Amino acid sequence: MMPEFKKTPAKAQKLPSKEEHLEKESIDAPISAAGEFKLEDPQTGDLYYPCHLGILFCGKFEASLFKFLERHLRDIFNGVFYEIHNLGEYTFSEELLAKGIKEEYKNSPNGEEKLEVHPTNKLYQILIDSRITQRINMILLITDLPIYSSENQDIVFLFGEANLKHHTGIVSTLKLKESFYGRAENKELFFQRLLKEVIHEIGHLVLQAEHCNNNWCVMRFSDSLEGIDHKGVFLCKECGKSLERLKEEFNFS
Ligand SMILES: [Zn+2]
Ligand SMILES: [Zn+2]
């Protein structure tokens, strides 16, 4: 579902004066419509398993993070991936970084601090491009940038999102850190939260599935930190069965 563009009212309007026009432009300048990032993917199509998964990082992360995620992804999705590749760090050009950003108030106690939030479509396009240049079937981006959904403009800050059609997913770490809420950093808790979100988004991509209603399942939808902390890192029995069916379908040994 694409956001609708505002339609010009049918009745005739006075043309804005040059000053009015300039003023409007300067307000609108940093904000582009989500539609600007219409995803271009010359290679969308069915995915065959096992496949190659790439993890791309955007921001500063501990070197141990990739190994940690890889180990757990292998446990959960045993056999689904030939290899899980560390694609290293992506660096934005200033021009691209500025595109599509929206300013939002960080929901902090004083409510004063503003953050620049990035549209998911901008990030998906980077992933689609790397998928093609690096010949990787599926890519997940882990970023410390705040993100908003290009599909659902009602969600101000997103933890993560998956794009099934383009075999790409995004997880934003910003709101998974205790420091975001003004509390002391806790690395272990951060790694656990991130792991759940990473498994969740890859779960969408692999199982081609919606959310699960089982309480502890990692595929349960969570729009709050409490929800993430409440659920487990594993697939429930039902989701596990879907994974087994997929393996049967693709003749896994
Ligand atoms: Zn989800
Ligand atoms: Zn489940």
pLDDT in tens, 56-93: 999 999 999 999 999 999 999 999 999 999 999 999 99
Tokens, residue 138: 């599926």
pLDDT beyond 70 at 136: yes
- Confidence at residue 114, expressed as pLDDT on a 0 to 100 scale: 85
Q: Is residue 152 part of a domain?
A: yes
With contact defined as beta carbons under 8 Å apart, do 211 and 242 qualify? no
Catalytic residues: 201
Query: How many structural domains compose the chain?
Result: 1
Q: What's the whole-number mean pLDDT along residues 33-41?
A: 75
Q: Is residue 36 part of a domain?
A: no
Distance 218 CA to ligand 1 centre (A): 9
Q: Is residue 21 part of a domain?
A: no
In whole angstroms, give the CA distance from residue 153 to residue 156: 7
Element spanning 64, H or E: helix 64-76
Tokens, residue 230: 């409440």
Q: What is the pLDDT of residues 119-128, one digit of tens each?
A: 999 999 999 9
Q: Where are the beta strands (DSSP E) in the chain?
A: 51-58, 81-89, 102-105, 114-119, 138-143, 147-148, 160-163, 168-172
Distance 207 CA to ligand 2 centre (A): 11
3-state secondary structure of 107: coil
Helix (DSSP H) and strand (DSSP E) numbers for the chain: 7, 8
Q: Are strands 114-119 and 147-148 parallel, antiparallel or unpaired?
A: parallel
With contact defined as beta carbons under 8 Å apart, do 50 and 80 qualify? yes
pLDDT beyond 70 at 29: no
In whole angstroms, give the CA distance from residue 3 to residue 22: 26
Q: Is residue 84 part of a domain?
A: yes
Ligand nearest to C-alpha 171: 1
Q: Is 81 exposed, middle or buried (0-12, 13-18, 19+ CB in 10 A)?
A: buried
Q: What's the whole-number mean pLDDT along residues 5-18?
A: 41
With contact defined as beta carbons under 8 Å apart, do 73 and 53 qualify? yes
Q: For residue 252, name the pLDDT band (cuts at 50, 70, 90).
A: confident
- Confidence at residue 45, expressed as pLDDT on a 0 to 100 scale: 84
Q: Which of 4-13, 153-162, 182-191, 240-249 has the lowest average pLDDT?
A: 4-13
pLDDT beyond 50 at 50: yes
In the chain, the percentage of residues whose pLDDT exceeds 70 is: 84
Q: What's the whole-number mean pLDDT along residues 4-27?
A: 41
Closest CA to 170 of 39, 9, 74: 39
Q: Is residue 37 part of a domain?
A: no
* CATH code (residue 140): 3.40.390.10
- Confidence at residue 36, expressed as pLDDT on a 0 to 100 scale: 73
Ligand nearest to C-alpha 159: 1
Distance 134 CA to ligand 2 centre (A): 32
* 14 vs 183, higher pLDDT: 183
With contact defined as beta carbons under 8 Å apart, do 34 and 100 qualify? yes
pLDDT beyond 90 at 202: yes
Ligand nearest to C-alpha 238: 2
Distance 220 CA to ligand 1 centre (A): 7
In whole angstroms, give the CA distance from residue 91 to residue 188: 26
* 209 vs 54, higher pLDDT: 54
Average pLDDT, the chain: 86
Q: For residue 20, name the pLDDT band (cuts at 50, 70, 90).
A: very low
Q: Is residue 87 part of a domain?
A: yes
Distance 249 CA to ligand 1 centre (A): 24
Q: Is residue 158 part of a domain?
A: yes
Cis peptide before 50 (omega within 30 of 0): yes
Give the residue numbers spanning the domain of 240: 47-249
Q: Which of 12-16, 122-126, 202-206 has the lowest average pLDDT?
A: 12-16
- Confidence at residue 21, expressed as pLDDT on a 0 to 100 scale: 42
- Confidence at residue 78, expressed as pLDDT on a 0 to 100 scale: 95
With contact defined as beta carbons under 8 Å apart, do 222 and 228 qualify? yes
- Confidence at residue 30, expressed as pLDDT on a 0 to 100 scale: 44
Instruction: Give backbone dihedrals phi and psi of 114, rounded to 5 degrees, phi first.
Output: -110, 150
Q: Is residue 60 part of a domain?
A: yes
